[in-house]
Amino acid sequence: MKYYPHPILAREGWLFIAVSLVITLVIYHLSNAWVALPFVLISIFIIQFFRDPKRVIPQQPNVVLSPADGKIIAIEETHDPYQNIRALKISIFMNIFNVHSNRSPVDGEVTRLEYYPGKFINADFDKASTENERNAMIIRLANGQLITVVQVAGLIARRILCYVRVGSILSRGQRYGFIRFGSRVDVYLPLTARVLVSIGQKSCATETVLAQLEVNS
């Protein structure tokens, strides 16, 4: 699966963009610029929402990259319900103005994928991690370490898209999914990982390094 280059406007948004532009043009021709202005603004919003810019991929060994744009809202030791172990969780909240393309945080093999239907509460709340609609992916690194990456739907989001399968080999920075309109991504890491971000910090998908993994001897 190719991940760079890719369209600067995500394919997931092409229909939304086309429909908004057509409606805007029809309103403009049937009335005037002032009446069409709100539709122009809506079209601009939709276009910016589905932007999917190229990112520079850090090459340091044993690092975990951010899978999403957004803000770091949680860093805590907790239970990873997908591997059933204690883990270090880093949560990233994606608002409606962030890029919503999701990218692999590491090089590795997808060993498990599981979709969970659920609620659509505000993704900024802690309980969204376990109560909202979500899609969990477990990745095994070359050294055998496992990390869990979870796409979580939010208050407005109603569609989680994941394009990989069990057995897929991912490269860091590889585009693997998309969440429409506001959401959250949780990353569960081994407890020995060294966190390199802080709560409140803005993250940039692929370019922000979340943590350094301990090298197994």
Residues classed as catalytic:
183
Q: Which of 132, 114, 112, 115 is nearest to 123 (CA)?
A: 132
**CA–CA distance, 184 with 136 (Å, rounded to integer):** 12
**In the β-sheet with 134-140, what is the strand arrangement from edge to edge?**
169-170, 108-116, 134-140, 146-153, 183-189, 85-94, 70-80, 202-203
Give percent helix, percent strand, percent coil of the chain, each to the nearest 5: 20, 35, 45
**CA–CA distance, 172 with 187 (Å, rounded to integer):** 14
Q: What's at 64, amino acid-wise?
A: V
Angle, helix 14-30 to helix 33-49, in steps of 10 degrees: 170
Residue 148 · residue 187 · CB < 8 Å: yes
CA dihedral 44, 48, 50, 51 (to 10 degrees): 130
